[in-house]
A = this chain, B = another copy of it.
Amino acid sequence: MSQGKVKAGAETVRILGIDPGSRATGYGVIDQQGNGLTFVTCGVIRTSEKKPFPERLEEIYNGIGEVIGAYKPQLVGVEDIFTAINPRSALKLGHARGVLILAARQHGLLLEEYSPTVVKQAVAGYGQAPKEQVQQMVRVLLKLVASPSHDAADALAVAICRASHSRNLLR
């Protein structure tokens, strides 16, 4: 699934980024070989607000399970938002993050959580970078022709952040 050229001695690591939400959960998968990043896939798991919440949680859980099963990432990064939201929204977001983290854990993925500031720093070099600049950098870094949807782009940014941190660890 990777379109990157294999460099001798550079092992490919597949990384999943997740931008959790109870209505829309973005996901993005990239391959990392040395300093090179290759886009693999991205998308959004959407749930209908008309459905009962337990059913929506199961859809999120099954949805990310399908992505993990199909693309078999080894590492996963999850965006951690908790500032500037009210307790009710935080509770709802927590439910979605809970089943996403559970799915990642059950598939044996190595998980790290990153605040939006850390994600922006990793992708755009500046923790307070505006959203548009982060999305532009995602396109540049992954050599994308078209812009992915908002939630998918955020998830790809988290995957890039995860890649950058795993590279630091390997050094």
Partner-B contacts on A (CB < 8 A): 53-55, 57-58, 61, 82-83, 85-99, 101-102, 104-106, 111
Chain B residues near A96 (CB, 8 Å)? 98
Identical chains bound together, number: 2
Partner of A98, one of B86, B95, B105: B95
Chain B residues near A53 (CB, 8 Å)? 101
The binding surface of chain A is classed by DSSP as helix
Partner of A57, one of B55, B82, B93, B102: B102
Bound form: Cα–Cα A111–B52 in Å: 10
Bound form: Cα–Cα A87–B84 in Å: 9
Chain B residues near A101 (CB, 8 Å)? 53-54, 57, 95
